[in-house]
Chain A
């Protein structure tokens, strides 16, 4: 019996979204139980940025209100739970991808989108996301999921705004995805 080659293995189906949601909610609840705070992601990226800046120019970090809060002076920007969580998340994503047959080097894009355009859009979208996450002090994981679960007023405003803005631009940008 021939074993199919790795690249020909059909990926396993995704979990049912409600099942995945309840599972994610349970992980989120566990995070609260264990630490008092929820999940997050953008903070980890921010701290990596601060660490990178600090190794080039510590004074730039110290004199900047935004960066200093994360790693000014003697503080180590990477010594923070959000950083450990981000590394754990990448490991978890990798392992799940591995067992599900979804470890495939590719560019996910809409059927009519050339790869180059997709990458430019990914970078542009990422910049907007990064700026917005810094502004909002969190992203969909930290603010919308975690802040939403504890009914923080600002988090819900943030979450509704994300959906509103996304839907508003969906039709004009449909060539990217449909």
Chain B
């Protein structure tokens, strides 16, 4: 399954080779010469548009067709996070820089590699511009990190449509743009660069378009994999994490997490509503696996530690899988579930088994009767309808800090992102 997980020297070598191919093709396309690049903005030579869009569309079709067929795991493909404010500001600066300077950073490197003085000066300018940005960083930081910050989001996710639809639309748009580009080049004659490229080969174009439509068809028809397919592909990895119990955290570790004000946490309770209303942890949100797929996975951030719980473990493990197939989600299961939590913090058995011991029950809430009786021993009639707010009235819903030392545990939770200490730290 692609992408691969290379490391070490192999990683360096392949990266250098890919970079080599990148620079080689750019030079072959004529992008090492600013006149060729600037001509794009005078419509007389449209090679920048043709090369860029052909490249984008080629890679896009290959990625999404491969993803639909199950050869590439799109979860592990890097999608640059969206910062709309920064994109608009940066794009404007780049556009102006392009028409004034005639290069972009990548092409300027190719130009300087082929001894173009203007490329060298441009690249030096790029370095200075970046330095300037760094010096301006303190006043730009809020804008840079928050303006229109939507996280990792693709166009099809933003529109709420199937990926294949956007892929096909982009392909059609590119073909339309190429058609207009050909007309422009034939009609507009100013700023033509001195050396032309090889002429179009109708056979090549026909073959390319045919393959393109085939790939778009695959992406449309097969569609991007759904959660069940993703779970199936990752079966072995998920099962090994479950078997090794590395994703199960001790109730005491959860209590520490609850009292830790520096880490963002999300407690998801996947039990039935009736159990939840009788007793639930104070900050635990009731949800279902379907809701996790449709709502939660889009909003959970890598900084959050997510803990899933059911009465024992069965349903929580299932829910955990639906979270764990997503790369930016840091999720764990409460070992022993709410049953073991109550055994420790309600019944007071601090020697209850640790997370290495799976829960042995049938995922029923064993303390339901105990809570019901404790709540109102006299009147059983009031037990008919419980509001969720009553479910966390018992002190066991949020044991105080005096309980922190009563039980030891081995830390399993690892943060995906480092926590910034409030006030202070590197550059505040």
Q: Are A137 and B86 in contact (CB under 8 A)?
A: yes
Query: Complex Cα distance A141/B144, Å?
Result: 20
B39 → chain A closest CB, angstroms: 7
Of residues 111 through 146 on chain A, the ones whose CB sits less than 8 Å from some CB of chain B are 118-119, 121-146
B204–A19 CB distance below 8 A: yes
Contact mask for chain A residues 38-78; partner B; CB cutoff 8 A; 1 contact, 0 none: 11111011101100010000000011111110001100000
Task: Judge whether B87 and A158 touch: CB under 8 Å.
Answer: yes
How distant is B260 from chain A, measured CB to nearest CB, in Å? Answer: 24
Contact between A46 and B130, CB atoms less than 8 A apart: yes
* B134: contacting residue among A22, A35, A66, CB under 8 A: A66
For the side of the interface on A, what is the size category?
35 or more
Asked if B404 is an interface residue, CB under 8 A from chain A, the answer is no
Q: Indicate if the CB atoms of A165 and B35 lie closer than 8 Å.
A: no
User: 1/0 per position for B187-221, CB-CB distance to A under 8 A?
Assistant: 00011000111111100110010000000000000
Scan A9-25; emit 1 where CB is below 8 A from any B CB, else 0.
Answer: 00101111111111111
- Tell me, in angstroms, the Cα distance from A159 to B140 when the chains sit together: 21
Interface centre among A110, A158, A161, A173 (most CB of B within 10 A): A158
Kindly state the separation between the CA atoms of A176 and B95 in the bound complex, as whole angstroms: 15
The digit string for B39-71, where 1 denotes a CB below 8 A from any CB of A, is 111100011001111111111101100000000
Q: Contact check, B17 vs A17: say whether CB atoms are below 8 A apart.
A: no
B97 near A: Cβ within 8 Å? yes
| Bound form: Cα–Cα A28–B15 in Å | 11
Of B17, B19, B112, B199, the most chain A CB neighbours within 10 A belong to B19
Say if the beta carbon of B93 comes within 8 Å of chain A: yes
Query: CA separation between A19 and B132, bound complex, in Å?
Result: 38
Residues of B within 8 A of A164 (CB): 91, 95
Binary contact readout B97-111 vs A (1 if CB under 8 angstroms, 0 otherwise): 111111111101111
How far apart sit A18 and B156, CA to CA, in the bound complex (Å)? Answer: 26
A5 contacts chain B at the CB level, 8 A cutoff = no
Q: How many residues of B contact A (CB 8 A)?
A: 138
Q: Which residues from chain B contact A18 at a C-beta distance below 8 Å?
A: 50, 54, 178, 200, 204-205, 208
In the complex, what distance in Å separates the CA atom of A99 from the CA atom of B256?
A: 65
A33 located at the interface, meaning its Cβ lies under 8 Å from any Cβ of chain B in the complex: yes
Which residues of B have CB within 8 Å of A25?
54-59, 62
Q: Is the Cβ of B59 less than 8 Å from the Cβ of A29?
A: yes
The answer to whether A33 touches B72, judged by C-beta atoms less than 8 angstroms apart, is yes
A97 and B115 alpha carbons, distance in the complex (Å): 9
Q: Decide: A126 and B108 in contact? CB cutoff 8 A.
A: yes
Q: Say if the beta carbon of B12 comes within 8 Å of chain A.
A: yes
Q: Is A1 an interface residue (CB 8 A)?
A: no
Residue of A nearest to B5 (CB): A36
Contacts A103-B115, A108-B35 known; A27 to B25 CB distance under 8 Å?
Answer: yes
A81:B128 contact, CB within 8 angstroms: no
Q: How far is the CA of A149 from the CA of B65 in the complex (A)?
A: 12
Contact A154 B130 (CB under 8 A): no
Could you tell me the dominant secondary structure of chain B's interface residues?
helix
Q: Assuming the A-B contacts A17-B50, A17-B51, A72-B426, are A89 and B26 also in contact, with contact meaning beta carbons closer than 8 angstroms in the complex? A: yes
The reply to whether A100 and B27 form a contact with Cβ atoms under 8 Å apart is yes
CA distance A22 to B52 in the complex (A): 9
Q: Is the interface of A mostly helix, strand, loop or mixed?
A: helix
Q: Is B84 an interface residue (CB 8 A)?
A: yes
Partner pick for B106 among A11, A26, A73, A140, CB 8 A cutoff: A140
In the complex, A148 Cα to B78 Cα: how many Å? 11
- Residue-wise interface mask of A (153-177) relative to B, using a CB-CB cutoff of 8 A (1 in contact, 0 not): 1111111111111111110011011
Alpha-carbon distance A145/B6, docked complex (angstroms):
23
Contact partners of A118 in chain B: CB under 8 A: 118
> Which chain A positions have C-beta within 8 A of B383?
none
CB distance from A79 to the nearest CB of B (A): 10
Smallest distance from the beta carbon of B13 to chain A beta carbons, Å?
9
Contact of B137 among A48, A66, A129 (CB under 8 A): A66
* Contact of B122 with A122 in the complex, beta carbons under 8 Å: yes
**In this complex, which of A41, A73, A126 has the most chain B Cβ atoms within 10 angstroms of its Cβ?**
A126
Are B16's CB and A168's CB within 8 A? no
Q: Which of A91, A138, A165, A177 contacts B20 (CB 8 A)?
A: A91
Smallest beta-carbon distance A121→chain B, Å = 5
Which among A37, A121, A144, A155 is the interface contact of B52 at CB below 8 angstroms? A144
Which 7 pairs of residues, A with B, have the shortest CB-CB distance? Answer: A125-B101, A126-B125, A21-B54, A130-B129, A88-B19, A165-B95, A25-B58
19 new A-B contacts at CB < 8 Å, known A36-B78, A163-B95: A15-B29, A18-B204, A20-B51, A42-B106, A65-B426, A65-B427, A67-B137, A68-B427, A88-B18, A93-B111, A96-B24, A96-B27, A108-B33, A122-B101, A151-B155, A153-B158, A157-B87, A169-B95, A170-B42
21 A-B contacts, Cβ less than 8 Å apart?
A14-B195, A16-B198, A20-B51, A27-B22, A37-B77, A88-B17, A92-B23, A96-B25, A108-B35, A110-B38, A122-B119, A124-B97, A125-B98, A127-B97, A130-B125, A130-B128, A131-B97, A131-B132, A152-B153, A153-B153, A161-B92
Residue positions of A touching B, CB distance < 8 A? 11, 13-42, 44-46, 48-49, 53, 62-68, 72-73, 81, 84-97, 100, 102-110, 118-119, 121-170, 173-174, 176-178
